[in-house]
Structure 1
């Protein structure tokens, strides 16, 4: 396998880690978009941004191998990097704000509030609201030195054939697992309908946060966290052959969460000071005072 380039340009080709989410909105536009005024939307059609996202996926698809995921699990699932309350983690995550972003100046806390407040406004259970609030906290991986391509992006199973429904599937040709007979068949190291809990996903903030939260939140919330970036399944149904009936049932929650994740970002700042007491109480209801990251 080719040695990974350690240059910052290689590891972090996007201008900011949220560029890949904006690319998602281009790929999966809001069904209600035609009912909104043009000025309500940010301009996501930017040739330079598209090229950096494309380069991001070239690197991601080349190096997200089964062995790489196993190594990252050993490295990070010891949870020995930092012990923080959720609020300390939010403050920590806020250091990811990119002042050079010309489109929007909301910090990560306000982005999280936009998602959770939209869920709350629609009358969903409080655990669903909390899930919207914390679903991206796993991006603190960037602050532990992880490159963008191992933190964000569409997720997908490793250890079996890469689906052509994954974004930029042509880049998997450079992934050594594509020519490894152990991993390049339909089922690879898995068995039919073995269940997603037995399937290793590409490494990133989704799996990392799931592992942190798995003892504290209801099962539908954990599916939302763990698979909200698994677009080749919840949009394309590319891996149903690995799923159990329970997985399929739980993915209805993932699909319910997805529009809140994608379409609630706007330049209007939530009143974080007024909202904080509600979220402090909600966080205290479900989570311990300190979490290990």
Structure 2
């Protein structure tokens, strides 16, 4: 998930407005408690775009993490069903510490894309349609 969760940010290269790409996604409308995030409409952003391209090519929990990695977990928790709660506890909360809490303009990556190319080609043998 770490390698591909932000693939939707490629939309910025296509001149999509940043406010449509890099924003947090939040529920739109009113839903009953425990409705399940998949049954709610959330603000569209790079998460949903990446999910639309990777769903079916990764395990369910990875697809879920890609789709919801920019939510405010505490705000969305009342809407979560059992699956959402399990995935949020097991995957999303730990992931968000690294995703949202580790960015720095001063620490540059020590790895290049070529360092991961073999892994990416093994995990995604078919092209991902953009």
Q: Provide TM-score, normalisation by structure 1.
A: 0.40
Q: Find the aligned partners of 1:288 and 1:198 in 2 and give their Cα distance.
A: 31
- Rg larger in structure: 1
Between the two proteins, the alignment pairs up a number of residues equal to 128
1:271 counterpart = 2:115: no
Q: 1:223, 1:251 within 8 Å by CA — same for their partners in 2?
A: no
Deviations 1:10-51 (A, max 9, x none): xxxxxxxxxxxxxxxxxxxxxxxxxxxxxxxxxxxxxxxxxx
Deviations 1:230-263 (A, max 9, x none): 02xx2xx223332211110010111010111123
- 1:51-90 matches, cutoff 5 A: none
Structure 2 residue 19 is matched with structure 1 residue 203: no
Partner Cα separation in structure 1 for residue 95 and residue 107 of structure 2: 21
Kept after mapping to 2: 8 A contact 1:223/1:254: no
CA distance in 1, matches of 2:39, 2:21: 21
Contiguous gaps of at least 5 residues in structure 1: 1-130, 161-186
* Runs (5+) with no aligned partner, structure 2: none
2:101 corresponds to 1:260: no
The equivalences for 1:177-188 within 5 A come to 187=31
1:272, distance to aligned residue in structure 2 (A): 3.1
The 5 Å alignment of 1:51-200 reads: 131-160=1-30, 187=31, 191-200=32-41
What is the TM-score normalised by the length of structure 2? 0.84
Runs ≥4 in structure 1, deviation > 4 angstroms? none
Superposition CA RMSD, Å: 1.9
